[in-house]
A and B are shown apart, each in its own frame.
Chain A
Amino acid sequence: MGTLKTTITQRTVPGGGRKLYPNIVSFKNIGNDELIERMMQNSGINKVVAIAAAAALRQVFTNYVLNGHTVQIPQLGTFSLSARTKSVASKDLAGPSCIKAIKIRFTPVSTTMQAAKSVKFSSLIDDDVLNME
């Protein structure tokens, strides 16, 4: 398990004022190409299969998750939709207008969640304060 890069973040607190908090930041963003390379290295599959798997994931997502199904992706996790709603006084008024927002929920597989509990942190970078709302 790797060591996570940490930093100090500044946030506004209720009642005004700002406080400082520890936070984690990514070392770098991994794009499609690097991900495909890693897939080929880790499991010996060829590039065609790796690209097809990534494309298939997108397809399954678009065809099924966005149409209300809960989808379990092997060794990754489960995607589903959830809605934040408001209530109304009468049954006739209840409808799509009650839906305030729809979110895509992702639950990683249990092994990933367990592994995330045992990550290590680098020492905080004192001179790297990020401003956040």
Chain B
Amino acid sequence: MANLGFYKTSREDEATGAKRYTVRLVPYSVIDKQAVVDLALKDSNINRQDLAAGFAALGQAIEDFVLNGHSVTLDGLGNFRLTCKTGEWDDRTQKWKSAGKESMDDVSTDGIRGVYVRFRPCKALREEINHASFFEVTNTLFGKTKGGKLNFS
């Protein structure tokens, strides 16, 4: 089950100047590409070199399929696919405006302003996150957290 740390933080409300409190998730660490292979080795019975090659092949294969217009579903993980953001650049206002049209004849791919790779986790993962348990963290590597201000004492 997902178990997430949070810390309390505060900010000033721009309108009233009053202090408002909220929480943020604690980012424990960044596990880089090398460390991912080391961690995965613990639960795997293949050697380091093969596992590293396998990860690289996995990433490459997903990229190949997705950039050629397919979606890729990994069982127990989720789905990778391309999505797009629409908009038309308005030179006069120097802003993006809606690419929505009344007639099909006016719709063109010029209205696609960006293409992005998206990941949607599978239902099991989404449910696990929705039922995550939380614990408060008051000490970080950089000191105590106190409403957003870090003390180094």
* Chain A residue contacts of B111, Cβ below 8 A: 21-22
Q: Is there a chain B Cβ closer than 8 Å to A131's Cβ?
A: no
Known: A72-B36, A74-B56. A66 touches B101 (CB 8 A): no
Interface flags for B87-129 (1: CB within 8 Å of A; 0: not) read 0000000000011111110111101101111110100010011
Interface 0/1 of A83-101, CB less than 8 Å to B: 1011111110111101100
Contact residues, B16-71 vs A (CB, 8 A): 18, 20-33, 36-37, 39-40, 43-46, 50-71
Q: By the criterion CB–CB under 8 Å, are B21 and A24 in contact?
A: no
Number of A interface residues at 8 Å Cβ cutoff, please give it.
Answer: 92
Tally of A-B residue pairs with Cβ under 8 A?
Answer: 306
- Is B150 in contact with chain A by the CB < 8 A criterion? no
Contact present for B81 and A106 (CB under 8 Å): no
The answer, among A11, A28, A112, for a CB contact under 8 Å with B67, is A112
Partner of B23, one of A62, A66, A98: A98
CB of A50 within 8 A of CB of B60, answer no
Are A85 and B54 interface neighbours, CB within 8 A?
Answer: no
Mask, B64-86, CB within 8 Å of A = 1, is 11111111111111111111101
Residues of B within 8 A of A50 (CB): 54, 57-58
Question: Which chain B positions have C-beta within 8 A of A104?
Answer: 78, 119, 121, 125, 129
Q: Which chain B residue shows the least CB distance to A13?
A: B100
Could you tell me how many residues of chain B have their Cβ less than 8 Å away from some Cβ of chain A?
A: 96
Q: Which residue of B lies closest to A76 (CB)?
A: B59
* Cβ–Cβ contact B31 & A72, under 8 A: yes
Q: Shortest CB–CB separation between residue B19 and chain A, in angstroms? A: 8
Across the interface, which residues of B come within 8 angstroms of A67, CB to CB? Answer: 2-4, 28
Q: Mark A11-24, 1 if CB is under 8 A from B, else 0.
A: 10100000111111
Q: Which residues of chain B are within 8 angstroms of A29 by Cβ–Cβ distance?
A: 70-73, 79
Say yes or no: A30-B72 contact (C-beta < 8 A), given A66-B129, A76-B59, A116-B67: yes
With both beta carbons as reference points, the residue of chain A lying nearest to B59 in the complex is identified as A75
Q: Which residues of B contact A (CB under 8 A)?
A: 2-6, 8, 10-11, 13, 18, 20-33, 36-37, 39-40, 43-46, 50-84, 86, 98-104, 106-109, 111-112, 114-119, 121, 125, 128-130, 132, 134, 136, 147
